[in-house]
A and B are shown apart, each in its own frame.
Chain A
Amino acid sequence: MSTLEIKGLHVEIEGKEILKGVDLTINSNEIHAIMGPNGTGKSTLAQAIMGHPRYEVTAGTITLDGEDVLEMEVDERARAGLFLAMQYPSEITGVTNADFLRTAINAKRDEGDEIPLMGFIRELDANMETLEMDEDMATRYLNEGFSGGEKKRNEILQLKMLKPKFAVLDEIDSGLDIDALRIVSKGINDMRGEAFGCLIITHYQRLLDYITPDHVHVMIQGKVVKSGNAELAKELEEKGYDWLHEELGIEPETAEQEA
């Protein structure tokens, strides 16, 4: 079993503090969901875990099985077992999806122990079929000209091919229609098990109808203010976030806040 542990995390972007002390522990075989209004720092948490260059951690720790994640370069974090399905994946010209995936898989393997080509193709084909992706998406340039929904599926394809210990899914449901949501959710549910833990970041309860979380956390103003089980997500869906402000005595922020 693996554990991803976040303690007292403070994160700034361009001098502005977004996360103000986040504590969160995720174990293998657990699916956590973080919900919250726009601009409360949910995506910032995701980017900070992966090491996005624009986000600066000013205090706190992130460890993976006791190893200091914040000391690792972005690629080292990935090879240690972290994965971030991005809200806005980059488009890379001239690099085919398949070449990119094979390079990423081999990056985790030793020289001389590269994934056999035929095995790779079989696995890729199978996963693309599950995700109902067009065959030509393997040979197209990485995310180039992909629709929003295609990009999201492609993120999940990478997740399934790379098999990380922990995945952070940053608004994987935004821009997906119901069919795509169902397909993407199935892809994630298939990963559930002893070797996999997941942190889902979402605005909407909708995704959690398909992927039942073990734990639900609410983030407001850069902190996790309430945690519970799947029932909490349903409650939020019905009642919104305002009651939480009242219950927890949080002053609503009037200033613009973007994260």
Chain B
Amino acid sequence: MTVETKLALTEQDVRSFSKKMDEAAWMSDFRAEALAKVEQIPMPKPDKTRIDRWNFTEFPVHAVESATYESLEDLPAQAHELIDPDNHENLYIQHNNTPAYLSLSEDLKAKGVILTDIFTATREHSDLVKKYYMTDGVKVDEHKLTALNAAFMNGGVFVYVPKNVVVEEPIQVLFFHDNEQASLFNHVIIVAEANSSLSYIENYLSTVEEAKGQANIVSEVFTGDNAEVTYGAVDVLPKGFTTFVSRRGVTGRDSRLNWALGLMNDSNTIAENITHLIGDGSHSDMKTVVVGRGDQRENITTKIISFGQNTNGMILKHGVVKDSATTIFNGIGKIENGATGSNAEQESRMLILSDRARADANPILLIEEDEVTAGHAATVGQVDPLEMFYLMSRGITKKEAERLIIHGFLAPVVSQLKLEGVKKQLTEVIERKVR
């Protein structure tokens, strides 16, 4: 059975939404053109997961209006905890679909750093946004879900770091969801010009028990020559959502793009994290941890494609799968013809905690060039009964022993996350999820 795409919104709807959000005029056309394509282009085909019965198109309402926050004290406790009490000068909060809080240090403003909601960005930084918005990163017509994101975009953020500017303190963006009717069609654009550097922290948090809509999220990151961006994210979206999240990077010469992703959703999730190493000598490091539980289905693709010479792609991901969840890891290292001297490494480890859980690690190397190095390692295993015996023989309960082994299993990834705030939140979320 295939689900016919019945779209909730017409061209008129997306145009009037664009107008209501006071976007740049080109954005209205951009949305309308994307909408026209949605019907014609196919769904993505994530390896080893059938999604033809997943519902990616239906949602109760396109956008909800939610409260803004005058002060961080207005935030609910769970959201407030995610904000570093000593360091939150560079912070943007989106409340469901509403831009709700914005703070950027005077110093960064003076240096030309931009942090603003995506609607305002199309208007105030129209040329910049237009240059990067679904052009060289994610394409509108990649598949139906990217086209849907383009047409229905109802949130997101624009971060711009000019040439030679080093952003010392991280910029944090919190997407806070507390309305079960709300869908998230977010679009994030991060541009770090030549010789700049940025740490970006992204939190998806929901306090809803069960969501009713879509989470269709696209992030595009562009590193200029010799720039360095660290993108740390912890996604905690509830069941009920159908989640598609695509995080894409495009690198300039000698730049570094480091990803540190904690995929902690309880929803069925198709996640892809892809870097195109375009510039010679550029480097991308992808670290991902995943916990699947309940009857959740997750398909996690991490992919680094080397186009430039002497590029380096490192993939490391660890996943724990419990209950009757299914998690698929697709790891792809691709070296294109001409990318001499490049290196593609990947390592995937999965730990299965129950007889009903399913895990599959699927490593792929696609090498079109001779003078390169590449390697992969993948394991899927269960908790070692002898390790359990050893821990329990010291008086540690079965549950606690299992907890230690799981944390230990994820530690090689979590401990390497360079952003302390992300590490802390992730550790706490893992704690909750594996209990």
Contacts and interface: CB of A to CB of B under 8 A. Distances in A.
Interface residues of B, number: 25
Q: How large is the interface on A (under 10, 10 to 19, 20 to 34, 35 or more residues)?
A: 20 to 34
A92 B393 contact: no
Interface stretch (B8-16, B21-29, B359-367, B404-412): B404-412
A158 B393 CA distance: 11
Given A78-B394, A92-B404, A94-B412, 9 more contacts: A75-B398, A75-B401, A77-B393, A84-B393, A90-B390, A93-B408, A95-B408, A141-B408, A162-B395
A206 interface: no
Given A53-B385, A92-B405, A86 B412 contact: no
B169 interface: no
A90 B389 CA distance: 9
Interface string A161-203: 0100000000000000000000000000000000000000000
B392 interface: yes
Interface in A56-74: 73-74
A232 interface: no
Nearest to A50: B393
B408 A74 contact: no
B386 A158 contact: no
Contacts of A93: 408-409, 411-412
Interface in B374-422: 384-387, 389-398, 400-401, 404-405, 407-412, 415
A140 interface: no
A90 B383 CA distance: 12
A92 B406 CA distance: 10
Residue of B384, B391, B405 ringed by the most chain A CB atoms within 10 A: B391
Contacts of A52: 389
Interface in B332-384: 384
A75 B392 contact: yes
Contacts, number: 82
A104 interface: yes
B215 to A, nearest CB: 30
Q: Which 9 A-B pairs have the closest CB atoms?
A: A94-B408, A94-B411, A78-B395, A104-B394, A90-B390, A74-B392, A95-B408, A75-B392, A107-B395
A52 B393 CA distance: 9
B389 A95 contact: no
Interface of B: 384-387, 389-398, 400-401, 404-405, 407-412, 415
Contacts of B393: 50-51, 74-75, 77-78, 83-84, 86
28 contacts: A51-B393, A52-B389, A53-B389, A73-B392, A73-B398, A75-B394, A75-B401, A78-B394, A78-B395, A86-B390, A89-B390, A90-B386, A92-B390, A92-B405, A93-B412, A94-B410, A94-B412, A95-B404, A100-B394, A103-B400, A104-B395, A104-B396, A107-B395, A107-B397, A141-B408, A158-B394, A162-B394, A162-B395
Nearest to A164: B395
Residue of A75, A86, A108, A158 ringed by the most chain B CB atoms within 10 A: A75
B263 to A, nearest CB: 19
Contacts of B386: 90
Contacts of B385: 53
Contact of B407 (A73, A95, A104): A95
Interface of A: 50-53, 73-75, 77-79, 83-84, 86, 89-90, 92-95, 99-100, 103-104, 107-108, 141, 158, 162
B408 to A, nearest CB: 3
B389 A92 contact: no
A55 to B, nearest CB: 10
Contacts of B409: 93-94
Nearest to B413: A94
Contacts of B398: 73, 75
A92 B391 contact: yes
Contact of A100 (B391, B397, B412, B415): B391
A108 to B, nearest CB: 5
B390 A78 contact: no
A74 B391 CA distance: 9
Contacts of A103: 396, 400, 404
Nearest to A95: B408
Contacts of B390: 86, 89-90, 92
Residue of A86, A94, A107 ringed by the most chain B CB atoms within 10 A: A94
A201 to B, nearest CB: 15
B392 A92 contact: no
A92 B387 contact: yes
B73 to A, nearest CB: 31
Residue of A52, A73, A107, A158 ringed by the most chain B CB atoms within 10 A: A107
Contacts of A50: 389, 393
A114 to B, nearest CB: 13
A78 B411 CA distance: 27
Contacts of B384: 90
A139 to B, nearest CB: 12
B395 A75 contact: yes
Residue of B389, B404, B409, B410 ringed by the most chain A CB atoms within 10 A: B389
A103 B384 CA distance: 19
A100 B387 contact: no
B405 A95 contact: yes
A248 B392 CA distance: 39
A68 B417 CA distance: 47
A195 B384 CA distance: 34
Contacts of B391: 90, 92, 100, 104
Nearest to A47: B389
A95 B407 CA distance: 7
A83 B396 CA distance: 12
